[in-house]
Amino acid sequence: MQIKDRADILEVVQDFLSLKKKGQNYWACCPFHNEKSPSFSVAPAKGIYKCFGCGAAGDSVKFVMDIEGLSYPEALKYLANKYSIEIEEDKHENLDEYKAQQTLRESVLIAMQFAQRHFQKLLTDDDEGKALGMSYFKERGFSLLTIEKFGLGYSKDDWHDLEKTAVKEGFTEEILEKAGLIIKKEENGKTNQYDRFRNRVMFPVYDLAGKVIAFGARTLKKDEKPKYLNSPENEVYKKSEVLYGIFQAKNDIRNSDNCYLCEGYTDVISLHQAGVQNVVASSGTSLTEGQIKLVKRFTENITVLYDGDNAGVKASLRGIDLILEQGMNVRAVVFPNGEDPDSYVQKVGGAAFKDFLQENAKDFITFKAELLLGEVKTDPIRKAGAIREITNSISKVPDAIKREIYAQDCAKLFTIEVQILLTEIDKILIQKGLQESKQKQEEQRRNAEKQKETKNNSSNFYFDDIPLPTEEYISNKTPSENAEYSAYNEDVSAEDIALFQKKGNKIHHAVAVHEKECIRLLLKYGSFLIENDTKLWQYLLAEINELQFHTPLYLQMLTMYKEAVSQNIVADDSYMIRFGTPQIVETVVNITTEKDKPSENWHAMHDITIPYENDATQLPETVFSHILRLKGEFIDNLLENLGLEIDAQHEENTEKIDELLTEFMRLKEIQKEMDKPLGKSMRR
């Protein structure tokens, strides 16, 4: 629990997103789904986050799990490392055996971290590394502090240097290959393997959390190709979702509310050293949607830095349209002919470089229009093509007001009526809308077919996407696999969860709804006094004592709640968030968090009385109604199963049929009495 207690949700989320304070909470666009206006909220006082758009919710551990794609133990290790908390782990004499027990992802990350340290040590301590690698970096003007900041290194001119060193340290050849550090080839029936990187200066690529996930390597031989050699994609590295320098730049991007985007590793490093630290690189690849979304976590503003090469500028224009589609504000800066960010900052110095950026940054649409217009000159056909291209870029901008302003500016540049541009933009938007509508309809059709197929092929019922395990499913699982259904403790066993999953037994969705409502009332109002010093949780638990919860997750949460109160622990939402599993934490946040709540000052200001759920007069009635509904659904369940059992009896078994009918009529009388205060139509 030390990790959960120390992990500040605001600090953790701010490592990945740029948050803006509104009221007591902080807001941003959700990183888990596409949206234009912020619906992702962080509540520091409660230690939770919640997206009111897609429903993602949880605490700091759950956030790290979702944003980084980590397992629960991996997320805890990440937070422990962030807050310098030592985790006691079993020591293994055999390192190979220890690594074999780790997930593939974690093993690859460990191998990458080892390789980075190895390459850096060669650069600073090895004679070859100092003579070749360090000399290269010093020629580029990189200081020792900069080299350390970016973890730069050197790979020896040796086919097996890294491989031999890593194997001695207990890394398997399989993991080294999966990490892309060694290459295996079959030749003449024999397997040859060797280091991927040799005689190159090494540029580690870090993810947002500061973990090494790949390498870029520049050759030191004049005629060797390729000049740059990059890690292949693997378990932790997806090129389209990574930007070089994002780990070192993220805080400066957030603070300056702008991100400079350039092309190469040395551009980023030189600018950092010159004091321009809100800069990242696409590493020579075409800009992707994943990379743009990575920047958007920290700012809505991006400035693209172009080398002084007209052909290179034109080649990258299409990628900028992707940035516009994300609703970001894009500016562009072009350096003098023959210069790039690295060479120019080395030439003029940091202060003059910053002035140049300020003076030469242009809005991208205007920049593109001027660029195209300069090429077409007086050729009417080429001019028409340029106009179509610029209208296509303007159509990518989601904001209608911005589109019109861009259209007005471009109309002046091209000396054309603005209405003509707006009409062309509308045509593009209409066509795009039709295509999106068709795609949506096709997706809905496929989903409907999939749901129909699932319904026809499955006897399980689903509540909130939580599958109820069948008896056959559980019988085919090992004890350790069945334990997955009892995430909180062993008291909630798979057998408990499957108690009502007998042949012919049906469970209605309404049961799960009422079970969830029961948990919500307990967490939010459990300590409220109902009457005669009786707390709500005492009354509610006593009333439902004989009812068996059907939904696995809610059964786990109820068991956890009962155990807590039995030990005189206040089992509110904070308790469940602190001690619950990630799934429990997410559920607690979702069922107890409200986005909008009417102000309690409305009555004084507007003479409007709003009935609040926690009113002393309102709450007992709410709980009583809920108990009646929950019991009503339980009785409906019993009646339906009794009906099935009666139908299954042979006619001659009159004694058994009479017994079942008697019980059926008894339950019907109870149901009739319960329907009086609610009204049958109100029960569900």
pLDDT per residue as tens digits for the range 576-634: 888 888 888 888 888 888 765 555 554 555 554 444 555 555 677 777 777 777 777 77
For residue 681, what is the DSSP state?
A: G
Structure tokens at 450: 């999939």
β partners of residue 154: 201
d(CA 326, CA 323): 5
Partners of 594 in the β-ladder? none
Residue 322 pLDDT level (bands cut at 50, 70, 90): confident
For residue 20, with 0-12 CB atoms within 10 Å meaning exposed, 13-18 middle and 19 or more buried, which class applies? exposed
Residue 213 in contact with residue 207, Cβ under 8 Å? yes
Structure tokens at 300: 């809505």
Residue 428 to residue 325: CA distance in whole angstroms:
14
Tokens describing residue 576: 């469940």
Residue whose pair of structure tokens reads 């066993």 in the numeric block: 493
Helix axes 265-273, 341-348, angle to 10 degrees: 30
pLDDT: which is higher, 420 or 633: 420
- C-alpha 443/C-alpha 430 separation (Å) is 20
**How much is the pTM?**
0.66
Helices and strands (DSSP H and E) totals, the chain: 33, 20
**Residue at token pair 């740029």:** 18
pLDDT in tens, 54-76: 888 888 888 988 887 777 777 88
End-to-end CA distance of the chain: 40
SS3 214: strand
Exposure of 584 in the CB half-sphere (CA atoms within 13 A): 28
**Coil, helix or strand at residue 668:** helix
Residue with tokens 């390789």: 115
Confidence of residue 199 (pLDDT cuts 50, 70, 90): very high
Closest CA to 628 of 541, 514, 507: 514
Please tell me the predicted confidence (pLDDT) of residue 605: 58
Residue 310 has pLDDT above 70, yes or no: no
**153, β-bridge pairs:** 202
**Strand-pair partners of 187:** 190
Model confidence pLDDT, tens digit, residues 229-283:
999 998 889 998 899 999 999 989 988 999 999 988 999 999 999 999 999 998 7
The β-bridge partners of 231 are none
Domains and CATH numbers, the chain: 2-82 (3.90.580.10), 98-235 (3.90.980.10), 246-429 (3.40.1360.10), 467-682 (no CATH)
Cβ atoms within 10 Å, residue 522: 25
What is the predicted pLDDT for the residue at 596? 56
460 versus 658: which is more confidently predicted?
Answer: 658
What pLDDT is recorded for position 677? 64
Question: 311 pLDDT exceeds 70?
Answer: no
Q: In 3-state terms, what secondary structure has residue 458?
A: coil
Q: How far apart are CA 314 and CA 307, in angstroms?
A: 11
Q: Which amino acid is at 274?
A: A
Token pair 């759950």 is found at 62
The 3-state DSSP class for residue 40 equals strand
Q: What are phi and psi of 391, to 5 degrees?
A: -65, -35
Amino acid at 512: A
